[in-house]
Amino acid sequence: MSGPLVPIGGGNFQQTGQVDWVSLSKIPVTFGLGVLVRLSKAELDPATIAIGGFACNQFVIKTEAQKRIHDAFSSLKSFSSYGKLVWFGFGIKPIVKDLADTEHGMACVALCACMSISYDSFYAAGVLRELCKIRETPPDFLPSIHQWKALVNICAGSVSNSKFPILLEGLIRCVLPHAEVSLHQPTSTEALAKAVGAIADVSNGKLENVTIAGGLDCIWLAAISEWLLSLNVEIRRSSGLTVYK
C-alpha cells in the first residue's frame, strides 16, 4: 500500500505562488517577551512561525473545525522542566495557543500536530518545507529543515486527546487489515505537500473536488480533510468499492 500519491482528477496539483512575499517581508511581526523566551528555549526562530502561517494562508477552516481545534488545544496542560526543556511537548501553553490566534496560524499548528500523529518529525518538517516551496517562498526566507522540525516538535501532541486519532484509526481499519499497516512506507514529502496544497484549494473554493490515489497517506489526507477542514470525504478501494462516505 505504499507508493506515490497520484492526482486522478479535480485539477492540476502544481500550485502557483499565492503569497506576495515582498509585501509580507515588510509587515512587522510581534511577539510578547514571554513567548520569545519560550521560543528561544525551544530553539525556534519566530520567523519560522510567521512563514509557516503565510504558507498555510490557503487553508479555510470552517467554524465547527475551529471549535474542534480550539477544544483540543484547550485540553492541554502546562508544565515546566529544567533548562532548555522548559515548555516542551505538552508544555504548550501558551506557545501553541499564541501561535493559533489567527486562522493561518491555527492551520499551521493543526497541520503540524496532525502530521505528528502519523509521521516522524523530520518527515513532517520536510513536508512543511515542500509546502513553502510550492508557495514560492524565496530561498532567503525559507527556514532550515531543523527549524521546521522544532516547530513540529512544539505542536506534537496538541491533538492527541481529540477525535482526530480515533477518526484516523477508524479510516485505516476500513481500508486495511491490521497486519498490513506496519508495512507502509510514506510517499515523498513533495508528493504529500502537493496533495495537502490541493486539499487546501478545495477548502478555499479554487477546486471543486480532488481525487488522490495512493497508500495509507491517502487515509491521513482523508482524516485531515474531514477533521481539520470539514470537507466531505469518500474513500474507495482500488477495486472501486466505496468503504467510507
CB-based contact 134:15 (threshold 8 Å):
yes
Q: Mean pLDDT across the chain, nearest whole number? A: 80
Other CB atoms within a 10 A radius of the CB of residue 222 amount to 23
pLDDT in tens, 29-63: 555 655 555 666 667 787 888 889 888 999 999 99
CB-based contact 41:87 (threshold 8 Å):
yes
Q: How far apart are CA 127 and CA 196, in angstroms?
A: 9
Residue in the structure block whose three cell numbers are 482524516: 223
Q: Where are the domains of the chain?
A: 6-244
Q: How far apart are CA 51 and CA 25, in angstroms?
A: 10
Q: How far apart are CA 26 and CA 36, in angstroms?
A: 20
Looking only at the bridges linking them, the beta strands covering 211-213 and 235-236 are unpaired
pLDDT in tens, 163-182: 999 999 999 888 876 545 55
To 5 degrees, how large is the angle CA 138–CA 94–CA 96? Answer: 40
